[in-house]
Structure 1
Amino acid sequence: MTKPCPATARYLTGLIGRDIQASLSPRLHESEGDAQGLRLVYRLFDLAVEGMDAGDLPRLLDALQLAGFAGVNVTHPYKQAIIACLDELSPQAQQIGSVNTVVFSGSRRIGYNTDIYGFAENLRSGLPSASRFDRVVQMGAGGAGAATAHALMELGVGQLTLFDPMIERAEELSAALNAIHGAGRAIVGQDLAAAVGAADGIVNATPLGMEGYPGSAIPRALLRPALWVTDIVYFPLETQLLREARDAGCTTLNGSGMTVYQAVRAFEHFTGKKADPARMAESFRVAEEA
């Protein structure tokens, strides 16, 4: 009598966002699934392509949960809007008010944030150990900006200056950071030129530079060789900001490492299996060069 073959674990996952057709997340997750003998499918749910917006998030999550999805990642511009659709938040997601990973557990929807880990690990591994973190300017105080700001606080930044077109959003994030990490460590910027002139490094946590969002958050004239500059955007890998910063002699760090490390944690939330960061980084490199 022939023995039945062992069942292969199957996982349906994906990414909800806007203008995300260039995302490499499907390759990262599916390649890691293949390496571990899992049948993992990762789909893009681009609300711009589907003619949907934030108001459609509840019914989209309903449909995915009914279809048996293990979970989904969430990216710009829905990392905060998605929270109203969830039943529970991890302590870290609750603390920063931003979710980039949703896990369907029975009838419940649990929100996590793996961006903090992803950003911090990218800085630790990608910037020289001599890089200074006394004063940092961050552009953007939205969902991604909340994660990068908390990561910067945990990395020991002395003073973080926040800029955002919605000043009230920067004020709210600054207040939250100071309440958790110590009074006066985060401030809302008033003069970009002065802040950059006094800074050791710059973080772009806005979508500027991403496909569909051309431009740079920092004027070229403000860049100088003593700065380190990092961008959370990874498609394209070299944004206008990073290209101009490199030309100005700055130390630069692209968003690929953050993408890989946050995907490592998201994969683990979806599957319950440990992911291999080096293998996922190689999958990213191969996909980016394809």
Structure 2
Amino acid sequence: MKQLYGVIGCPIHHSLSPLMHNDAFQQLGIDAHYHAFHVEKEKLPAAIQGIKALGIAGVNVTIPHKTAVIPFLDEIDEMARRIGAVNTIVNENGRLIGYNTDGPGFVRALVEETKTDIQGKRILLIGAGGAARGIYFALANAEAEQIDICNRTKSNAEQLIEASDVSVASHAYSLEEAEARLSQYEIIINTTSVGLYPDVEAMPLSLMNMNENTVVSDIIYNPLETKWLKEARQKGAMVQNGVGMFVYQGALAFEKWTGIFPDVERMKQVVIQQLGGATC
């Protein structure tokens, strides 16, 4: 019987996860199908029960459910519990177990694509949502020297730092405060959806005070190069889009579901080809 997998989110029409995972299933000869499920916030509890009732083998979780989904799961992996966000669910004989592959996927992509060593680096994260949580913990585990967080609502950044149990120097800032201090950072990462298609003219933060040779990363992959990344590149930064993180977090989820780590280069090319361009 064909196994069913999927992704739940709202909105979900932009997701390339079905294309990427279904290609991997086909390549590996696995009898399975991956589907995108649009789930409104108020329907999340029913959707989780539906995963059990329908015997769905595993799902990814995206905006806005990564934190909200936790109370409805049977078990949470230790790292996902510490992060406070889940992006991958494995159905083990009717028990739903939550994991977070966002952070490890991001760090692996950042290191491989920019040849940057995280250890000892001063980093600024923009945003304090579910993706930021995973990335924050993974960067701390990679021994960053300092990880500051800025957010439109400063208190949310403060709460993320206060709730964490990692031993890394961290400060919370408003967007304006972070913009004034931008020259202090060697790596700047946008973890928000600002600039995501179709709102492609929006930018999460001014780069006026950024130093040349700063690594600037945006977890958005549609468009391949956001207006913010384009400006960063023009100012002399090394830029990275969200394709690598998207592919690696998906590959790690795929491995948890099937026990097989897929061909990440093939997955990356599938995504880039669908988006109609070359990765930056």
In the alignment, what sits opposite 2:12? 20
SS at 1:207's partner residue?
coil
Aligned pair partner of 2:194 in 199, 202, 208: 208
Distance of 2:238 and 2:138 partners within structure 1:
20
Per-residue Cα deviation, 1:172-228 (whole angstroms, up to 9, x for no partner): 221244x3224xx11112512232121112100111111245411111433442321
Deviation at 1:74, TM superposition (A): 0.6
In the alignment, what sits opposite 2:80? 93
Distance of 1:207 and 1:213 partners within structure 2:
9
Q: Which amino acid aligns with 1:206?
A: T
SS at 1:77's partner residue?
coil
In the alignment, what sits opposite 1:195? 181
Q: Which amino acid aligns with 1:134?
A: K
Distance of 2:55 and 2:93 partners within structure 1:
10
In the alignment, what sits opposite 1:36? 28
Q: Is the 8 A contact 1:200 1:228 kept in 2?
A: yes
Distance of 1:164 and 1:288 partners within structure 2:
29
Q: Bigger shift: 114-123 or 131-140?
A: 131-140
- Structure 1 segments unaligned to the other structure (5+ residues): 1-8, 48-52
Asked if 1:141 is matched to 2:133, the reply is no
In the alignment, what sits opposite 1:165? 152
Deviation at 1:129, TM superposition (A): 3.8
In the alignment, what sits opposite 1:221? 208
SS at 1:15's partner residue?
strand
Distance of 1:20 and 1:55 partners within structure 2:
16
- Structure 2 segments unaligned to the other structure (5+ residues): none
Q: Alignment identity in percent?
A: 34
Deviation at 1:132, TM superposition (A): 8.2
- TM norm structure 1: 0.88
SS at 2:260's partner residue?
coil
Q: Bigger shift: 280-289 or 203-212?
A: 280-289
Per-residue Cα deviation, 1:229-248 (whole angstroms, up to 9, x for no partner): 00111111111211111122
Q: Is the 8 A contact 1:24 1:288 kept in 2?
A: no
Distance of 2:118 and 2:84 partners within structure 1:
29
How many residues align? The count is 274
Distance of 1:282 and 1:71 partners within structure 2:
24
Asked if 1:106 is matched to 2:85, the reply is no
In the alignment, what sits opposite 1:3? none
Describe how 1:111-126 pairs up with structure 2 within 5 A.
111-126=98-113
After superposition, the CA RMSD in angstroms is 2.0
Distance of 2:267 and 2:221 partners within structure 1:
15
Q: Is the 8 A contact 2:220 2:226 kept in 1?
A: yes
Q: Is the 8 A contact 2:110 2:116 kept in 1?
A: no
Distance of 2:75 and 2:118 partners within structure 1:
38
Greater Cα radius of gyration, structure 1 or 2: 1
Distance of 2:246 and 2:267 partners within structure 1:
10
- TM norm structure 2: 0.90
SS at 2:106's partner residue?
helix
**Larger relative contact order, structure 1 or 2 (CA cutoff 8 Å, min sep 6):** 1
SS at 2:166's partner residue?
helix
In the alignment, what sits opposite 1:278? 265
Q: Which amino acid aligns with 1:157?
A: A
